[in-house]
Structure 1
Amino acid sequence: MEEYRRLFMEEASFYNRLILGACLPNSVWDPLPHFFQTWLRNYIAANFIYFLSGFLWCFYLYYLKRNVYLPKDAIPSTKSMLLQISVATKGLPCYSIVPTISDFMIQSGWTRCFVRMSDVSWPAYLVYLMVYVVSVEFMIYWVHRELHDIKLLYKYLHATHHIYNKQNTLSPFAGLAFHPLDGVLQALPHVIALFLVPMHFKTHIFLVFLELLWTVNIHDCINAKLWPVMGAGYHTVHHITYCHNYGHFTIWMDWMFGTLCYPTDDDESKNI
């Protein structure tokens, strides 16, 4: 166990040095305790992914391809995007706590994580990965659904995100525009799943940050349909109807639990 904890600590420390060393003088971050180094690493990485992906995607959609993928009246105003950035910026310090806590629990030996690919066979790795992703998808679906169904949670937490309820108010920057506690609740399934499924440490970190990138992507209103992916077309329906398409990466959970609603070319929805 001590050897395993040492390996986890070494890998996490490598990521800390890689990101913090590239952004800050050693004198700023090196004296910090390992936990705070990890939080700072996650905070910097989350900001980098959010702002870089958001600006590049908005530049592509609203400038280079203006009126190609979206009609002019569906393009969000600069005011809307700045408001979304403001809300997301306030939440990012809290969102960064979730992967920091998961790192701490992994390094403490509390989870079922493993650090080396050689610890399991490739078939076992693929099975664990599939079970992990399905578990996370299941939990995110129900957390998201309860944030709508429990009126107090909706009123005081999730309503912050749903002020963006039309195409011309949604943009990639709305992807992280949540009440901080709302964002934390929807990220927790990635931590809970570590206690249920053996998971490769590096893959877990990758999927956590892919989650961030994906949530930016599904708020661009482009009506792409690639079964079974929960693309922006499906998620735009969610922002319009409030009671469909609670899933994140796929439409499977909505299909299973009767909340799937197909997007259509004319921006109306068709229930199944």
Structure 2
Amino acid sequence: MEITNDPTINDYRTLFIEDTDFYNRIVLGSLLPHILWAPLPRFLQTWLRNYIGGVLLYFISGFLWSFYIYYWKRNVFLPKDAIPSRRAMVLQISVAMKAMPWYSLLPTISEYLTELGWTKSFPRLHNVGWLSYVVYLAIYMVIVEFGIYWMHRELHDIKPLYKHLHATHHIYNKQNTLSPFAGLAFHPLDGILQALPHSIALFIVPVHFIAHLVLLFIEAIWTANIHDCIHGKLWPVMGAGYHTIHHTTYRHNYGHYTIWMDWMFGTLRDPEKDEGKDM
């Protein structure tokens, strides 16, 4: 790593490295024999930890949510003909698992660049105080919302990107082909591009690095939620009702957590207003 004379950067770097090593020990040490992971370079340890964490989060959230809506609450949230087949869900899992090793590179590279002192991240809340923490986090989320909206929209508007990347995800275009497992069923580069605003924001605004990692992994839970076809009716959340419309019209509701970007840029379509209409 490059050496700097800035004591603050060096202090931050020490804390970032301590945090990374701690997370690696917690995840890898509890799941794998020490001899399998300890000799690996730190970068590979971090990648392996992110990969295992991503896989566990994907399967735990996907299976629990699918069990709840398709079996425990069968025909309560969705009619029988809207429940996806096991074959469709297995296909989605297969696509997601092929991409997961590549998805795991993004948080790994973000951690490495943060350890080098290249981002604006800070390691501890007391480095900035509560007020600044909240303000920075709000700015970070706006950047993420804006970035994901336009990245997603361009993946549709730029035809080669759609054909070679995003079309992999849009084979799921009806209620009975969508499921929580479709949330990460992307071409690997497509999934990385849509998560990239999280990492880009690290170079723009100071943000607590643990918050960044948590939000990045929350993507796995959030994407599972917005592919279950259940309209939650919680304004201004871009829930599954909105995202199901996106999968049927291909030109509306590109947003991520909220409807604000679609509202600002004229691509919002409200599922409640669409009830009874042919989409």
- Asked if the contact 1:261/1:270 (under 8 Å) is kept, the reply is no
Shift of 1:3: 2.0
139, 144, 153: which one pairs with 2:152? Answer: 144
Tell me the TM-score normalised to structure 1 length. Answer: 0.97
Q: Is the Cα–Cα contact under 8 Å of residues 223 and 265 in structure 1 kept in the other structure?
A: no
1:169 maps to 177
Partner Cα distance (2:204, 2:102) in 1: 24
User: For residue 9 of structure 1, what is the aligned residue in structure 2?
Assistant: 17
- Match of 2:270, SS state, is strand
In structure 1, the partner of 2:6 is none
Identify the residue that residue 257 of structure 1 maps to in structure 2.
Answer: 265
Q: Distance in 2 between matches of 1:265 and 1:137?
A: 24
Whether the aligned pair in 2 keeps the contact of 1:263 and 1:270 (CA below 8 Å) is no
Task: Please say if 1:80 is aligned against 2:85.
Answer: no
Does residue 224 in structure 1 map to residue 232 in structure 2?
yes
Aligned to 2:79: 71
Matched residue SS, 1:163: coil
Equivalence map 1:89-108=2 (5 Å): 89-108=97-116
What SS is found at the alignment partner of 2:136? Answer: helix
Alignment of 1:1-272 (within 5 A): 1-264=9-272, 267=275
- The alpha carbon displacement at 1:264 in A equals 2.6
Distance 1:226 1:54 in 2: 21
Of 158-167 and 223-232, more deviation after overlay is shown by: 223-232
SS of the residue corresponding to residue 235 of structure 2 reads: coil
Q: Could you list the per-position Cα deviations for residues 90-113 of structure 1 after superposition, in whole angstroms to 9, with x for gaps in the alignment?
A: 000000000000000100000000
What does residue 4 of structure 2 align with?
Answer: none
| Maintained 8 Å contact 1:237/1:269 | no
The answer to whether the Cα contact below 8 Å between 1:76 and 1:168 also exists between their aligned partners in 2 is: yes
Tell me the TM-score normalised to structure 2 length. 0.95
Distance in 1 between residues matched to 2:212 and 2:226, nearest whole Å? 21
- Work out the CA distance in 1 between the residues paired with 2:49 and 2:257: 25
Q: Is the 8 A contact 1:237 1:244 kept in 2?
A: yes
**Segments of 4+ moved more than 4 angstroms:** 265-271
Q: CA deviation at 1:22?
A: 0.9
Deviation at 1:270, TM superposition (A): 10
Q: CA–CA distance in 2 between the matches of 1:34 and 1:137?
A: 31
Contact preservation (8 Å) 1:261, 1:269? no
* Unaligned segments of structure 2, at least 5 residues: 1-8
Report Cα offsets for 1:239-264 as digits up to 9, x if no partner: 00000000111111000000000013
What code does the residue aligned with 2:266 have?
A: G
Shift of 1:194: 0.2
CA contact (8 A) 1:20 1:29 kept: yes
CA contact (8 A) 1:165 1:240 kept: yes
Q: Distance in 2 between matches of 1:193 and 1:25?
A: 36
* Separation in structure 1 between the aligned mates of residue 273 and residue 35 of structure 2, nearest angstrom: 55
The separation in 2 between residues aligned to 1:3 and 1:92, in whole angstroms, is 33
